[in-house]
C-alpha cells in the first residue's frame, strides 16, 4: 500500500507551466492546516474525560484535508481513530493517534524528498512519485 492515492495524481495533472508549484503549494497548505489540527487533537486527548464528539469532529477535518492531497495512510488512521471515538475507546484513540503521527511524519519526509527532486528535475521532466 503506497502513501498516496489517485487524488495526488489528479493534483499533479492540474499543475502546468502557468502554475508549476501548484501541488507543492497545496501540500504546504495541508501541512499548515494539519499541524494545527494535530495540536488540537493532542490537547483534546489530554482532557479527562475525553470529549469523543470533539475528537471525532477534529478527526473528520483531518481526514478531509488528508483526502484532498491523497494521503491515504494518514486518512486510514483518521478513519480508525473515528471508529474508536464512536466506540468510546480512549486507549484506542491514543494508540491510533501515535500511529497517525508516525504515518504523517513519513508522508511529510517522502513528499519533501519528492518536491526536492521535482525542483532539481525542472519543469519538463517530472520526478518519480513517492510510493
Asked whether the predicted pLDDT for residue 34 surpasses 50, the reply is yes
Domain ranges of the chain: 6-121
Could you tell me where the DSSP H helices lie in the chain? 6-14, 22-46, 52-69, 72-87, 90-121
Asked whether the predicted pLDDT for residue 50 surpasses 60, the reply is yes
Return d(Cα 8, Cα 64) in angstroms, integer. Answer: 14
> Grid coordinates standing for 48?
479527562
Residue 124 DSSP label: T
Q: What is the pLDDT of residue 1?
A: 46
Residue range 28-46: average pLDDT?
97
Q: Are 109 and 117 in contact (CB under 8 A)?
A: no
- pLDDT tens per residue across span 88-102: 999 999 999 999 999
pTM for this model (two decimals): 0.88
Return d(Cα 96, Cα 89) in angstroms, integer. Answer: 11
Return d(Cα 78, Cα 103) in angstroms, integer. Answer: 11
Place of cell 486518512: 75
Asked whether the predicted pLDDT for residue 125 surpasses 60, the reply is no
Superfamily of domain 6-121: HPT domain (1.20.120.160)
What is the pLDDT confidence band of residue 20, given thresholds at 50, 70 and 90?
confident
- pLDDT tens per residue across span 55-96: 999 999 999 999 999 999 999 999 999 999 999 999 999 999
Amino acid at each position: 500500500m503506497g502513501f498516496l492515492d489517485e487524488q495526488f495524481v489528479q493534483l499533479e495533472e492540474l499543475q502546468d507551466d502557468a502554475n508549476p508549484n501548484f501541488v507543492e503549494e497545496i501540500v504546504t497548505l495541508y501541512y499548515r492546516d494539519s499541524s494545527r489540527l494535530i495540536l488540537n487533537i493532542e490537547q483534546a486527548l489530554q482532557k479527562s474525560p475525553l470529549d469523543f464528539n470533539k475528537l471525532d469532529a477534529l478527526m473528520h477535518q483531518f481526514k478531509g484535508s488528508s483526502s484532498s492531497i491523497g494521503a491515504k495512510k494518514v486518512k486510514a488512521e483518521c478513519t480508525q481513530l473515528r471508529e474508536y471515538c464512536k466506540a468510546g475507546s480512549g486507549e484506542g484513540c491514543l494508540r491510533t493517534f501515535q500511529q497517525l503521527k508516525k504515518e504523517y511524519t513519513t508522508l511529510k519526509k517522502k513528499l519533501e524528498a519528492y518536491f526536492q527532486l521535482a525542483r532539481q528535475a525542472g519543469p519538463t521532466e517530472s520526478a518519480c512519485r513517492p510510493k
